[in-house]
Amino acid sequence: MKKNWLVGVIGALALLGLLGIQAVSAQAESPFSISLRRDFGYGNGTSLQGRLSLHLKGDSAQVTRVDYLMDGKSMGVLTAEPFSLAFNTDDYPAGGHQFKARVETKDGKSYETAPISANFLTADQAQTDTKAILLPILGITAVAILISFGAQALMTRKSKTSAVYQKVVYGALGGAVCKRCGKPFSRSILGINIVVGKLERCPHCGKWQITTRASTQTLAEAEAELEKQYQPAPAAQVGAQETKDLLDDSRYTDKL
């Protein structure tokens, strides 16, 4: 008899254990879940600021009532589709929050969804975060533009004083005709690309301008005009200094 009693207790415990496991798994297998969406504002991972909305996932046709909870406190109850709740993070304290929903269905059952978390930023924090992302990009762009200006200024400086005509050698980007002096020049790969063309410096007069690729015809005309302006220098008159200038000039031209 004593043995039967023991079996009964063990059986009862086992049954309780089994029920316990079932209760846990019933909660884990909630047919509903929630998602948090950013409708407008700042977002970086789970750090959010602005207009957000909570949405129910699951068979919403069976749902009669949804209570959205933030840190265990009700944010709002919905009794009709689409069971979505919009709100603004500025209306709640900044920091980490946990969200879940209590869902009631037509058959009288109630479920609790698995929690999701988010970190609310203040408007100031969001602005600081945005700056932290944007400023380096703006900085790199500014440095690239400065390098382009500097390099072009250096490369075009010398030929301004050139006394002897040299045939213009055009690079992969073709040539352009200066809008101020009308002289042709090779378009620099260092030119700053802007939507309508490239920001470049004329190597003849030093004028900064937006260049577009000139046609072969236009370039040939400009070249002929340029050649006319130079008197062919007799070889004997080319002194040591001029030879050096020529060498320097050709070096710059080759780089383009």
Return the residues of window 206-225 that contact Zn ion according to CB under 5 A.
207
178 binding Zn ion? (CB under 5 A): yes
Q: Are 40 and 31 in contact (CB under 8 A)?
A: no
256 binding Zn ion? (CB under 5 A): no
Whole-number minimum distance, CB 217 to Zn ion, in Å? 19
Tokens linked to 25: 């798994």
Q: Contacting Zn ion (CB under 5 A), which of 54, 63, 176, 202?
A: 202
DSSP class per residue in 132-176: HHHHHHHHHHHHHHHHHHHHHHHHHHGGGG--S--PPPPBTTBEE
Residue 31: Cβ within 10 Å count: 14
Could you give phi then psi for residue 195, rounded to 5 degrees? -50, -45
Q: Contacting Zn ion (CB under 5 A), which of 75, 181, 210, 246?
A: 181
Q: Contacting Zn ion (CB under 5 A), which of 57, 109, 180, 255?
A: 180
Of 131 and 179, the one with the shorter C-beta distance to Zn ion is 179
Cα–Cα distance, 184 to 218 (Å, whole number)? 9
Of 92 and 208, the one with the shorter C-beta distance to Zn ion is 208
Of 118 and 222, the one with the shorter C-beta distance to Zn ion is 222
Of 205 and 238, the one with the shorter C-beta distance to Zn ion is 205
Whole-number minimum distance, CB 205 to Zn ion, in Å? 3
DSSP 233: P
Peptide bond into 184 cis (omega under 30): no
Cα–Cα distance, 63 to 79 (Å, whole number)? 8
Give the largest Cα separation in the chain, rounded: 133
205 binding Zn ion? (CB under 5 A): yes
55 binding Zn ion? (CB under 5 A): no
Of 55 and 183, the one with the shorter C-beta distance to Zn ion is 183
190 binding Zn ion? (CB under 5 A): no
Of 207 and 255, the one with the shorter C-beta distance to Zn ion is 207
Using CB under 5 A as the criterion, which residues of the chain lie in contact with Zn ion when the complex forms?
A: 178, 180-181, 202, 204-205, 207
